Amino acid sequence: MKWPQNKKLVNQSLPRLSPGGSSYSPFLRQLKIFGITLKLIFSLWWDKNLGNNSSRRRHRLAKWLVKNILELGPTFIKIGQALSTRADLIPIEYIEEFSQLQDRVPPFGSDLAIAAIEQELGKPISILFAQFNPTPIAAASLGQVHKARLHTGEDVVVKVQRPGLAKLFNLDFEILHRLVRWLNRFIKSIRKFNLEAIYREFFELLYLEIDYIHEGKNADRFRDNFQSYQRVNVPKVYWQYTTSKILTLEYLPGIKIDDRLALEANKIDTQEVIQLGITCYLKQLLEDGFFQSDPHPGNMAVSQRGDIIFYDFGTMAEVKTIAKDQMVKTFFAVLKNDTDEVVETLIYMGLIEPVADMTPVKRMIAFMLEEFRDKPVDVRAFEQITDEVYSIFEQQPFRLPPQMTFIVKSLTTLDGIARALDPQYNLLAAAQPFLKQIAFSQQQGGMLGVFAKQTKDFIQYKFKQPNRTQLSIMRLESRLDLGELQVKVKAVESERSLKQIQLGIKSLIYTCLSGFSLLSGSVLLVGQLKGVAIALFCFAIFWFILLLRSLTSMAMTEKMYKMAQK
């Protein structure tokens, strides 16, 4: 959640969130959620059958879904934000639309915020604070932030949870559980995604995020981890003004971290900001094993001195830390494009679940090393491995742990921030200060030897690089070993015949369905059941339209074939 801002918070075109969960009727809310889900499933099925699966159509459907997510409120906004990280599983058009949910949440009324503060802290607002700004300086799906001043003179920010949020989560928790069971029961193809586990995992994290005491403890732990870093600022928690629904923190204003013009206007070196940001994140991930899983530009700022300020510690993640010599080895494994070494490290950290056949996983890691090692992290590149990911799900029940998706999201976001400051930046160059710090650490005398050995091996690796012909042969061998090379034999005549047979079978099915619906409707119309009869007539029209489309496709295919024969 971003503090140092004064821009307009509310997009007037958006629906205002309900202030409390108690205003929702459980039956009507379930009806709305199931209705939106069914409409989405039907739209996807309809587009698939009509062949209308263009990027423009997917964008339109994604926009419709985002609109409904905003109307459904905080629970579904958080789901949308979580899905915005899954470029490996959902189309890029949905990723782009879901990513906009971050800054499109209107605040709730200041009177409700003040009432919540007074109720939680047990005193009038005038006794608690010398000054309190009723206009929020930031708003998010779970709460909003107000600036205040204590009677002792310190400037603070007060984070207030949306009233009725826990009740709403409890209601949505039950409804979504019914929805997951319903989907598993009626859509067999969706079972391989293990929605039950994903659902429970999501709500566990969500309930932790709305516990502000937990967030305050995260902030204290994060600040302790960076005590020796003079250029990293983490706000102090004022525990006497903090409860599970109210969080009071030190006010640390700054410049938005990706605002290049503002940073340059304040004579702040953007290269130093990039290096410091990358170093901070590598320390969190590799040394502390405790990292901010949502480092978007609203959660990071830069002070007038060029120090980085971190905000919002509700979404922290933990991974198994690795020894410093392992960090160096892994770093050089990335430089050398050593897939096996990288996969072993990821398994050790718990970021990849080991399975019987690791070939598809190694193929994915090799692809990411090749694509993202020296280039910007572009989520569109994930489209190239979509088929690979789906084949993994078909072959074996494999799912990346949530920490891995957090890391991918974080790296993508950090890469975007760095490129906003310097389009020519290089991740490996920015990581060098952290690597030097590890190599010359006084705590481990042998680390310099490890670093020197890895450097020597890397130089030898560079000198032994094969020429283009040898490289092409090696890539061919690698693809053969991984089972990646596929030989496709096309029989044009057979393909045409099979396509015509498929269209013929479809036409026959649509003819039977439209005829059956028409006949049944006529019988029921005679039996005075007009409502059901009209519904069946509508179905008959629907199947007839599909029949006409199928017949048209058959005719066009035959015509194109005859033209090709001439």
Residue 222 tokens, joined: 């994060």
Q: How many residues does the chain have?
A: 566
Exactly one of 88, 172, 258, 294 is catalytic; which is it? 294
Q: Where are the alpha helices (DSSP H) in 52-194?
A: 55-72, 74-83, 92-99, 110-121, 125-128, 165-186
Q: Residues 328, 447: contact at Cβ < 8 Å?
A: yes
Residue located via tokens 């090692």? 373
Q: How far is residue 68 from each of residues 14, 116, 179, 202, 548, measured CA to CA in Å?
A: 10, 28, 17, 20, 33
Residue located via tokens 């579904």? 76
Catalytic, 258? Answer no
Find the distance separating the first CA and the last CA of the chain, reported in whole Å: 66
What residues form DSSP beta bridges with 122? Answer: none
Cα–Cα distance measured from residue 357 to residue 168, given in angstroms and rounded to the nearest whole number: 42
Cα–Cα distance measured from residue 369 to residue 478, given in angstroms and rounded to the nearest whole number: 15
Dmax (CA) of the chain: 94
Q: Residues 340, 482: contact at Cβ < 8 Å?
A: no
Q: Where are the alpha helices (DSSP H) in 288-358?
A: 324-335, 339-348
- Spell out the residues 6+ positions from residue 206 whose beta carbon is closer than 8 angstroms to its own: 75, 78, 169
Q: Which of 340, 330, 212 is nearest to 282 (CA)?
A: 330
Cα–Cα distance measured from residue 520 to residue 510, given in angstroms and rounded to the nearest whole number: 15
Q: Residues 131, 148: contact at Cβ < 8 Å?
A: yes
Please list the active-site residues: 294
